[in-house]
Amino acid sequence: MSPALHELLSRPAPDVAPRLLGAVFVCARDTGTVALRLTEVEAYGGQQDADLPDPGAHTFRGRTARNASMFGPPAHLYVYFTYGLHHAVNFVCRPEGTGGGVLIRSGEVVLGEETATRRRLATRSSHPPFATLARGPGNVAQALGLTLDDDAAPLVDLGATPDPVARAREAVAEREGTVWSGLALAEHPAEDVRSTARTGVSGEGGTDAFPWRFALPGEPTVSPYRRATVKRRRTR
């Protein structure tokens, strides 16, 4: 892979995340190819020796079997399974070798709309509106066809171009018939980026102390903000 993406993802996640908005994330699978123009991401920091320990991150309590890939080389995927039914995907970052990542929260489907729709219909009773095909982390993973099998998979660097969508299309054609994931960066960073507290993160990590959710304003594909669910004791 060329050094550009690797160099970018070697930086701390909060620096990387806003730069990913507008980039195009391609996942080519046997079951179809889908590409997303990223509109919403969240940064998750490294462990104790990062500048700012991140209590909202999976890395916070150290390396485990589940989060091992987050401590691996940058420019790889970290896919995890949660709530017994959803997958979510991160790009692994590496601030000073402490682990970290950028959660892909939402994107606009720019390639493979039919495939994405078919995958999403597997768990829905109604046809998903276009803007919701990849809105929310669980929906992103489902639309792209990502599962735990894709954890630690490498991210192919498709370069930085003025037209990442076109670049993604070219790459899909070039690599027809193979299974791969890749990222085409936008040549220029998005000018208008909104940062807020992270969605669904409980405790201190979900407050304004960590304004590490980044989104493109005005995009219909950006997920609504939700607070972390309040813990309720099970009543037998």
Partner DNA sequence: GAGGCGATTGCCT
Partner DNA sequence: GGCAATCGCCTCT
Binding site for DNA (CB under 7 A): 42, 44, 56-59, 61, 64-67, 70, 78, 81-86, 88, 90, 101, 103, 120, 123-126, 128, 132, 136-140, 198-202, 223, 226, 228-229, 231-234
Residue reference for tokens 């607070």: 227
Nearer Cβ to DNA (43/171): 43
Cβ at position 32, least distance to DNA in Å:
18
Cβ at position 33, least distance to DNA in Å:
21
Nearer Cβ to DNA (34/70): 70
Q: Which residues, in sequence order, are bridge partners of residue 215? A: 40, 194
Distance between CA atoms of residues 48 and 45, nearest Å: 9
Alpha helices in 71-218 (DSSP H): 113-120, 137-144, 164-174
Strand 86-92 vs strand 24-29: parallel, antiparallel, or unpaired? Answer: unpaired
Cβ at position 111, least distance to DNA in Å:
20
Nearer Cβ to DNA (188/233): 233
Cβ at position 135, least distance to DNA in Å:
7
Nearer Cβ to DNA (19/213): 213
Count, in order, helices (H) and strands (E) of the chain.
Answer: 5, 9
Nearer Cβ to DNA (39/223): 223
Cβ at position 130, least distance to DNA in Å:
13
What six digits make up the tokens of 234? 């099970």
Q: Which residues, in sequence order, are bridge partners of residue 81? A: 87
Distance between CA atoms of residues 108 and 113, nearest Å: 10
| CA-atom Rg of the chain in angstroms | 17
